[in-house]
Amino acid sequence: MFKKIKIKITVKKIVSWSYFAIILACLFLFYNICQFFNKNIYQTVIQPEDVSASEITTANETIKININKFNDIVEEINKKTAPREANGPDNPFD
């Protein structure tokens, strides 16, 4: 019913398979190291460039939008701090 298969394990076969297993393990480790560097180091280097670019565009848009409000506020402050003419009684020392 079942045939017995004789497997001859020799030192030469073990060595050749171990070379294959070592090469496969090295490729697996190399792949994982590359993934780690891409996720952690490369993204850390690239992220500030993206943030600074978005900050510049956001700042320019904010300045364009808020410059009118800023001018209105400065005009109100100038009105409050501008010298006024006295409308009271005449100065007796003139």
pLDDT at residue 87 in the model: 65
Per-residue pLDDT of 20-42, as tens digits, reads: 999 999 999 999 998 888 887 77
Instruction: Supply the pTM of this predicted model.
Output: 0.40
User: What is the chain written as a DSSP string?
Assistant: -PPPPP----HHHHHHHHHHHHHHHHHHHHHHHHHHHIIIIIHHHHHHHHHHHHHHHHHHHHHHHHHHHHHHHHHHHHHHHS-----SSPPTT-
